[in-house]
Amino acid sequence: MSDKPLNRFLDRFDSIAVIGLGYTGLPLALRLAERFSVIGYDSDPVRIQQLQEGYDSNHELELGQFPDLLPVFTSDLLQLTHASVYIIAVPTPVDKNNLPDLRFLKEAVEQIGKFLKNGDCVVVESTVYPGCTEEFCAPLLEKISGLQLDKDFSMGYSPERISPGDAVHHIGAVIKLVAASDPVTLRFLTQLYQQVTMAGVHACVSIRVAEAAKLTENIQRDVNIALLNELSSVYETLGIDPGAVWEAAATKWNFLPFRPGLAGGHCISVDPYYLINAIKEQGGKASLVEESRRINEGMVARIAAQVFQHFQSTIIGNDKKRVLVLGASFKPDVRDFRNSKPVALTKLLMRNNIEVELVDPLVDGQHLEKVSGLRLTSQPTGYYQVMIIAVNHTVFKELEESYFCNCTSDTSLVIDLTGEYKRVISNRKYWTI
Ligand SMILES: NC(=O)c1ccc[n+]([C@@H]2O[C@H](COP(=O)([O-])OP(=O)(O)OC[C@H]3O[C@@H](n4cnc5c(N)ncnc54)[C@H](O)[C@@H]3O)[C@@H](O)[C@H]2O)c1
């Protein structure tokens, strides 16, 4: 391929289409729209209508600041005829058997295939297994468009590193990985993404390397959390306070500041399965990655066991068994509750005839109820025999001991999954991991 697409693109003759405007696609589309003509396409018309009205239901971004620099938000597929670069940012979850669920990706690729022209470039930003872009997406594009990769069109891969709720590591502040199917496209995408981030672009030697790098980033976190989850159980059995161990160990210069806890959400608890399955298909095994997943998935049952044990050892007479869970999202300071472990924990406790009230000032209660059937409580009501601090939202950090004492009794247990309330709670039985 020649330099033509690069020049055409930088001269702003063509548009970039961002497919999927969720947590990752929207910030990217907004950032690109500051420099280029951008079509923001999402298959959800409600999402599009909200964006057209300047409202991001994820509450991550303000859209009203630069109304002249916004993408064209649309759910009309025909708008893709104006694009020559297509960036895919659709979900890549796992199914109930933890196998990659490529439904959304397949649909997005098929949609693009209908509009693909000579000289176009398709970039995948969704998290995928190594080989997915070239072995799953490319053949599908070729089949639908009748065009040929590397002859008629090119492909790239640029994993998204955005971390919702993290104002420091926003899209413009982190290094972007870029890979492409040929050297000209790599130059083109490097230039393109340099416009998106001030931190710079790292060009990977191949698409597979970039795909694997993204998985590695999240697997490393999952394995480290699993290690501390295991150690916290070991130290508890040995009669050692795990929190005091982390505090002591953290004084060493090269101790990594991980904490035990719940690994939920749609990245850390999903991405490892993409690698686990990729190597399984080749007859191999990623033992440590699999074991880490098993340990982290077992945390909900481990915490529930602590609750059951408390009820068994405490006489509660005719009182109902009541638990208060603080935090429903999958991590601090976000509204996102996809694959949230506090939600899974709440459901497990309820299945065991425990009345659970869930408090989260950030999560959209109607949305939660629609998706999970769980209702949020705005304020604690009465008293609870167990209180679980599940998510370390900044708003919870302001809570004083009186808050915890007012909704518990002398015999209540406070389970602190964040490990941060040890010094706040002195008048209640306290358990942490
Ligand atoms: N959210 C994160 O923190 C994060 C971070 C890094 C990487 N990722 C990866 O980015 C990808 C997207 O994740 P997300 O969190 O932005 O998802 P999301 O659910 O927030 O948004 C995805 C959007 O894609 C739309 N969509 C689905 N199918 C479509 C289609 N065929 N055509 C057009 N639009 C379609 C949905 O309506 C939705 O608005 C995933 O692969 C994820 O693993 C996410």
Helices (H) and strands (E) in the chain, counts: 16, 13
Q: How far, CA to CA in Å, does 105 sit from each of 111, 115, 159, 351?
A: 10, 16, 14, 35
Which one of 18, 23, 107 would you pick to mutate in the ligand 1 pocket, going by the greatest count of ligand atoms within 8 A of its CB?
A: 23
Q: Which residues are annotated as catalytic? A: 267
Q: Is the pLDDT of residue 219 over 90?
A: yes
Dihedral sign for Cα 56, 124, 144, 129, please: negative
DSSP state letters, 52-63: HTT--TTS----
pLDDT band at 109 (very low <50, low <70, confident <90, very high): very high
pLDDT digits (tens, 9 = 90+) for 281-294: 999 999 999 999 99
The answer to whether 161 touches 210, Cβ cutoff 8 Å, is no
Q: From CA 345, how far away is CA 297, in angstroms rounded?
A: 11
Pairwise pLDDT comparison (421 vs 141), residue with the higher score: 141
Q: Please check the confidence at residue 8 and state whether its pLDDT lies above 60.
A: no
What pLDDT, on the 0 to 100 scale, is given for residue 104? 98
Say if residue 262's pLDDT is above 60: yes
Residue with CA at minimum distance from ligand 1 atom 3: 163
Measured in Å, residue 26 CA sits from the centre of ligand 1 at: 9
pLDDT of residue 103: 98
* 403-to-103, 221, 407 alpha-carbon distances in Å: 45, 33, 7
The first and second tokens of residue 358, run together, are: 């869930």
Residue nearest to atom 28 of ligand 1 (CA): 104
Counting ligand 1 atoms within 8 A of each CB, the residue from 160, 334, 337 with the most, and so the one to mutate, is 160
pLDDT for residue 318 is more than 70: yes
The one-character DSSP state at 96 is T
pLDDT at position 232, please? 96
The pick from 19, 30, 42 for probing ligand 1's pocket by mutation, whose C-beta has the most ligand atoms within 8 angstroms, reads: 42
Q: Which atom of ligand 1 is nearest to the CA of 44?
A: 37
Q: Could you give the residue ranges of the DSSP H alpha helices within 352-427?
A: 365-372, 394-397, 401-406
Ligand 1 binding site (Cβ under 6 Å of any ligand atom): 19-25, 41-44, 47, 89-92, 104, 107-108, 111, 126-127, 160, 162-164, 266-267
Atom of ligand 1 nearest to the CA of 163: 3
Q: What's the pLDDT score for residue 11?
A: 59
Residue nearest (by alpha carbon) to ligand 1 atom 44: 24
Report which ligand 1 atom has the smallest distance to the Cα of 126: 41
Contacts of 248 (CB under 8 A, 6+ apart): none
How far, in Å, from the CA of 403 to the mean position of ligand 1? 37
pLDDT value for 2: 47
* pLDDT value of residue 249: 97
pLDDT of 20-70, one tens digit each? 999 999 999 999 999 899 999 999 999 999 999 998 888 777 776 666 788
Ordered domains of the chain (ranges, CATH): 4-204 (3.40.50.720), 206-297 (1.10.1040), 298-432 (3.40.50.720)
Ligand 1 atom nearest to 267, measured from its CA: 43
| Model pLDDT for residues 397-430, shown as the tens digit of each residue | 888 889 999 999 999 999 999 988 888 888 899 9
CB-count exposure of residue 62 (10 Å: 0-12, 13-18, 19+): exposed
In this prediction, residue 172 has a pLDDT band, given cuts at 50, 70 and 90, of confident
- Rounded to an integer, the average pLDDT of 83-101 is 97
The residue whose CA has the least distance to atom 15 of ligand 1 is 23
CA distances from 328 to 189, 258, 410 (A): 38, 21, 26
- Exposure b/e, 120-156, CB count within 10 A at least 16 = b: bbbbbbbbbbbebbbebbbebbbebbebebeebbbbb
CA of 104 to the centre of ligand 1 (A): 9
How many A from CA of 355 to the centre of ligand 1?
34
Q: Which two tokens stand for residue 294?
A: 């098993």
Rounded to the nearest whole angstrom, what is the distance from the C-alpha of residue 147 to the centroid of ligand 1?
Answer: 26
pTM to 2 decimals?
0.94
> 18 C-alpha to center of ligand 1: Å?
11
pLDDT at residue 1 tops 80:
no
